[in-house]
Amino acid sequence: MTTDPRPTEGVHPDHPDLDRLGALALVQALADDQRRAVEAVRAATPALAGVVEAALPRLERGGRLVYVGAGTSGRLGVLDATELTPTFSWPPERAVPLIAGGERAIRQAVEGAEDDAGAGEQDVRGAGVGPDDFLIAVAASGTTPYVLGAVAAARELGALTVGVANNPGTPLLAAAEYPVLLDTGPEAISGSTRLKAGTAQKIALNTLSSALMVRLGKVYGNLMVDVRASNTKLEARALRLTRHATGAGEAEARLALAEAGGRVKTAIVMLRLGVDAGEAEARLAAAHGHARAALGEG
């Protein structure tokens, strides 16, 4: 029998009788194995920090985040890209998820799509990827042809490329300018990388995109101030954030938010500096969207 050298494809030595466990022991075993995901991301923090520093200037110039993956990895990319708009008011056209098999693959498996390197290249070119863009390629195996084709095309087009894989020494880590290894090892259910390999990917993507949004001025202190109040839940959240940042009463905060068109960051500047919405927007624009700088806090 040929042994697959990729750790994610190995058989976990601690769970040979997983199918014999009772419900409690089974759930505990699966939950405990997820701890390795957090450990893997913590080990990768220097690499992730390097990615933030490299990607930031491109995004400041108007570049896009482009996510590429297949299967679980592709769906996690779609999720991260989608959540940037409601969380940080990031323009949806600047978060581009590419998944092997297209949109249909978000809900169902598209057999063979991940094996098509040419499709990965074609999707990147079709998305108009260019020098200011930042491509995040994710593959647990580190060997997925679709993802490798996408990275090759992105590099040719001048985009910054990041490769996220759960196996060391794999082609994806070699192909990308910025390799990020999430070494999660064998899964409790052998080969099911939707488990801790996928969890580590989710944490890494969430950490990376959130760090970028903080550095781009989408956060003041630790407050999500670029959220826009577009429904009842977000209106209540916007009110809480505005009051917390300014110490304003409910009525005053509501009025400022109304005048600011629901923009929390604008309302905060208005209330803290005693200016109208137009002046607050002008100060934020001059500070490139950073509330702390607009408030003169450095």
CATH code at 248?
A: 1.10.8.1080
- How confident is the model at residue 2, as a pLDDT? 55
For residue 186, count CB atoms less than 10 angstroms from its CB and return exposed for 0-12, middle for 13-18, buried for 19 or more: buried
Q: What is the mean pLDDT of each run of 10 residues along the chain (298 residues)?
A: 74 88 96 96 98 97 97 96 93 97 86 90 98 97 97 98 97 98 94 93 98 97 86 90 96 95 95 97 96 92
**Domain termination residue (choose one: 181, 215, 249):** 215
* Shared-domain flag, residues 237 and 106: no
**Which phi and psi (to 5°) does residue 263 adopt?**
-85, 115
Domain residues for the domain of 280 are: 232-294
Active-site annotation holds for 187:
no
pLDDT at 66: 98
The catalytically annotated residue of 114, 121, 187, 281 is: 114
Q: Clarify whether residues 65 and 176 are in a common domain.
A: yes
The answer to whether residues 44 and 84 belong to one domain is yes
- To the query of whether residue 281 is one of the catalytic residues in this protein, the response is no
- Is 242 found in the same domain as 123? no
pLDDT in tens, 78-126: 999 999 998 999 999 999 999 999 988 888 887 788 989 999 999 999 9
- Which domain CATH number covers 62? 3.40.50.10490
Give how many domains the chain has, as a whole number. Answer: 2
Residue in this structure with the two tokens 């992105």, named with its chain if needed: 154
Query: What is the model's pLDDT at position 21?
Result: 94
Q: Is residue 81 part of a domain?
A: yes
Are 117 and 248 part of one and the same domain?
no
Instruction: Examine the domain organization and report whether 140 and 197 are in the same domain.
Output: yes
Which of 9, 39, 60, 83 is flagged as catalytic?
83
User: What pLDDT was estimated at residue 1?
Assistant: 45
Q: How far apart are CA 48 and CA 62, in angstroms?
A: 21
Say yes or no: 168 and 24 in one domain: yes
Are residues 154 and 30 part of one domain?
yes
Tell me, yes or no, whether 208 and 236 share the same domain. Answer: no
List own/partner pairs for 149-153 with CB under 8 A and 24 or more apart: 149/116, 149/117, 149/118, 149/119, 149/120, 149/121, 149/124, 150/68, 150/98, 150/120, 150/121, 150/123, 150/124, 151/68, 151/120, 151/175, 151/176, 152/117, 152/121, 153/120, 153/121, 153/124, 153/125, 153/129
Q: What percent of the chain has pLDDT over 90?
A: 85
Per-residue pLDDT tens digits for 256-288: 999 999 999 999 999 999 999 999 999 999 999
CA 19 to each of CA 24, 117, 189: distance values in angstroms, whole numbers, following the listed order: 12, 37, 10
Q: Are residues 42 and 166 in the same domain?
A: yes
Residues 28 and 144 reside in one and the same domain: yes
Give the model's pLDDT for residue 13: 85
Same-domain status, 25 and 77: yes
Task: Among 215, 246, 270, identify where a domain stops.
Answer: 215
Radius of gyration of the chain (CA): 22
Show which of 182, 215, 248 is a domain's final residue. 215
Give a yes or no: residue 98 inside a domain.
yes
Q: Is residue 4 part of a domain?
A: no
